[in-house]
Amino acid sequence: MMTEILDVDLLAFEQGNSKERLAVVDGVMRSLTTGFVYTKHDLSEAMLDETYDVLSRFFNLPAEAKEEYVAGGSKGQTGYTGLLVETAAVSQTPDWKEMLNWGAPLPDGHPLRTQYPHRYGNPVFPSNHLPEAARILSTFHENLVELQTRFLRIIATGIGVNASFFDTMLKDGSHLTRAINYPPMNEAPQKGDGGHVWAEEHGDINLITALPRATSRGLQVKIEDRWVDATPPDGYVIINTGIMLERLTNGLIPVGWHRVVADPDQTEGRLSVVQFCHPTPWTILSPVSSTISTERPCSFPAMSAGDCLDQVLWEINLSSE
């Protein structure tokens, strides 16, 4: 198993010669034995700046103002989720974080919206306080979906299927973008001595997750029972793998286990924005044949992506939200 996270270049895969493309695929597959990889990207820095500015202003609103954007019954899939709500499956102590979630709606009458209303409802943006939020956050969401779709073509090539293998299941996927504000730990219950951390050890539910930027350190990756700081080069996006990709690849690509913790001397908070790349909920997660062999027999029974998501939402205390 790799003991470090590699950095690769998405653009070299898309624009390079065959040797350069193969080098990117090889780097991604080797790095993803850790569940993580860093990739160079072509996202607009101005777009990222604008997104972080509007989110910083949102989280600085008074608590009662943020509570106006709670979307009851959405299972945390849109709107505001307050402090001490989400709890990692391995823990009994809620995380010290608050979140704003959004996605892209589907038209009324679309079968996905009818069957999965809590995944495809209208996004709840803080427009009453920040009129520009809907435009800015929707643009960010659309750009990240495109980036992740492109990156999954590298992974598809690496597991021996057509590069466009994931494209169909990603069209109208229930992709979720989440801004996460981690207040300073000295503001947590018992001034940080109550056992709370920013985000306890966990694996994501989805196919892959993209994190293009964070305002301070704190993300750590579990590699061979060691916690390693995630420190991508400037201009790189962090990509990590989720439960659904592990199922589809028969464990060839494992879940990227991670946590977010403050150092004892870290007095500031942290703001990050991630996007969880999801297939459509009716996608059947069944290991692809190229990942099954005598040495690696099929280990995962078929399960729909929607059922997989609901199972984990229950485990992390978001089913009643």
Q: What is the pLDDT of residues 87-144, one digit of tens each?
A: 887 788 899 999 999 999 899 899 999 998 878 888 999 999 999 999 999 999 999 9
Predicted pLDDT of residue 237:
98
In Å, how far are 59, 267, 276, 277 from 165, measured between CA atoms? 38, 45, 18, 15
Predicted pLDDT of residue 1:
65
CATH of the domain at 174: 2.60.120.330
d(C-alpha 30, C-alpha 50), whole Å:
34
Structural domain that includes position 22:
7-315
How many separate domains does the chain show?
A: 1
Predicted pLDDT of residue 315:
76
- Residue 48 falls inside a structural domain: yes
Q: Token pair for residue 154?
A: 């590298």
What pairing do the DSSP bridges indicate for beta strands 7-9 and 36-40?
A: parallel
Kind plus residue range of the DSSP H or E element containing 310: helix 305-315
- Residue 12 falls inside a structural domain: yes
Output the pTM of the full model: 0.93
Of the candidates 268, 260, 216, 214, the one whose C-alpha atom is nearest the C-alpha of residue 238 is 214
Contact 250, 296 (CB under 8 A): yes
Provide the 10 A C-beta neighbour count for residue 194.
12
Does residue 66 sit in helix, strand or coil? helix
Sequence-separated (6 or more) residues with CB below 8 Å from residue 217: 229, 231, 263, 266, 270
User: What are the beta bridge partners of residue 240?
Assistant: 36, 209
Ranges of residues in the chain with a pLDDT under 70 are 1, 316-321
- Residue 1 falls inside a structural domain: no
Q: Write out pLDDT tens, residues 172-202.
A: 999 999 999 999 999 999 877 778 899 999 9
d(C-alpha 209, C-alpha 219), whole Å:
13
Contact 65, 82 (CB under 8 A): no
Predicted pLDDT of residue 137:
98
Does residue 3 sit in helix, strand or coil? coil
